[in-house]
Amino acid sequence: MKLLATDYDGTLCYGYGDVMPEDLDAIRRWKEAGNLFAVVTGRSGLSIHRELDKYDLNPDFIICNNGGLVFDGDGRRLSENYMETITAIDLVYAMKEMDDVCSVMVNDGMARHKICVNPQLEDPRYPGVKADLPEDEALSLPRYCQIVVSMTDSQAAEDMAEQINHFFGDHLAAYPNNTCVDVVAKGVNKGEGLQFALSWADVDEEDVYVLGDSWNDLPMIEAVPNSAAIVTAPEAVKAQASRTCTGLSELVGDLLA
């Protein structure tokens, strides 16, 4: 039995748009061959579940919040990791002082809540998302699984991730993800979430294949020997993968050939 794990946005779902029919068919063929399928994403629990329901996708594992939460195919929560609350709130207040931060998205693992920081900036990641809670309530959640900082562009996201890791690195880990910075508790990442799923399913690393497109995918790309990066991924990400491909359907076609 083998396991295929893919990132969602920018990999399975192109440009925050749609999952291609050929990729849906590839997933079906992969599972019909007796293999396991996992989605590994930076999205919150409710966000990724809505996407999967839209396409009638039923992964054997859902690893969301960049490894913060792991679910099995029946929706049971297998693993959860949260940030220190005071540190999470300190980070939000630090981001509110930054001129090139568009917004901050806080989530408790399942639901996400937007805090607008600089409304005069165009928010490339969350242009249509409105704040659903007053700011004081968003900063009073009982726990925080991930904070996503939306920046003006990808270079600003890389620079901000470096700053967050410098000043908060004892407690948090920041990963640039296109125009955003995904921030989780230190030690949490897609690679660790994937390793948990592999242990749970008793699958050897040699039988695991991963596919990603951005910096936050690096921990899972580096975690297994059989890794692939989308051809549009940053050069440094592609350099760590064992191969590149145009999409999931190409990868699955080669694996099932």
| Residue 113 CB coordination number (10 Å) | 20
- pTM across the whole model: 0.93
29-75 pLDDT tens trace: 999 999 999 999 999 999 999 999 999 999 999 999 999 999 999 99
Can you say whether the dihedral through the CA atoms of 44, 46, 51, 53 is positive or negative? positive
Q: Edge-to-edge, what's the strand order for the sheet holding 36-40? A: 77-80, 69-72, 61-64, 36-40, 3-6, 208-212, 226-230, 243-245
What pLDDT does residue 15 have? 63
pLDDT in tens, 95-116: 999 999 999 999 999 999 999 9
For residues 117-146, average pLDDT: 95
What is the structure's pLDDT at 251? 98
Pair 104, 96: CB distance under 8 Å? yes
Cβ atoms < 10 Å from Cβ of 115: 19
| Domains located in the chain, CATH noted | 3-81+188-256 (3.40.50.1000), 85-185 (3.30.1240.10)
Structure tokens belonging to residue 48: 């990724």
